[in-house]
Amino acid sequence: MSLSKPDIIFHDLQLVPYKETWDYQEKLFAELMRQKLAGVAAFPGHLVFCEHPPVFTLGKSGSTGNLLIDEPGLAKRGIAFYRINRGGDITFHGPGQIVGYPIVDLEQLKLGIKTYIEMLEEAVIRLLKIYGITAGRLPGATGVWLDPDSPSSARKICAIGVRASRFITMHGFAFNVNTDLSYYRFIHPCGFVDKGVTSMAKELEGEQDMEKVKLLLRACLYETLGVEEHQANG
């Protein structure tokens, strides 16, 4: 292993309730923060992959007006809702979506928050290119988009919302692979009222191998962030 690259511990939690994973992130974040404040420089970061049962999450600056369904409607459909401490507005998480939570020290990676977000976007763009899907960025909006230059057909395939404190990150991205897109009719995704959403399955007209996509996406993330992986159980 190259000693020049920071270590990252990979966790694949599979399908897990949102609040359980949020608590897990907070635990990892607090551990890294304690070590950093104690002056320990060489500690690993974490990359958590998971899927969630259906849930809407609203960022700290988001508007509840972008949630288009009331509490009884959420309960009837088995959809959870959380207001959380990341940036960004409202988004959906559900089965068939790769949710990624990098918990890393940007100072170790020598990155600012804006560049870090761009690198998350770049990793997804590179992954999609492997599958023959051309993706890019939409000016003024985080995330990864298809046809971003076309107002009538621009659609988001990956949402990004992060939190950073003393340059340690949490939260991350939600990448639609085989996601049931019908849930998005209950929100204005990321606060947009005139933009669509999509998935790999929709674009490629067929369900994709999640394990293969996860493996390739991890490789793209390691490459863009310049990290090495350590395995961890859960």
Q: Quick count: other Cβ atoms within 10 Å of Cβ 115?
A: 12
- Cβ 116 vs Cβ 176: under 8 Å: no
Helix (H) or strand (E) holding 30: helix 18-37
Pairing of the two strands 45-51 and 196-197: unpaired
Q: Which positions are annotated as active-site residues?
A: 190
Return the closest-CA partner of residue 83 out of 51, 53, 60, 67.
60
End-to-end CA distance of the chain: 23
Helix (H) or strand (E) holding 11: strand 7-15
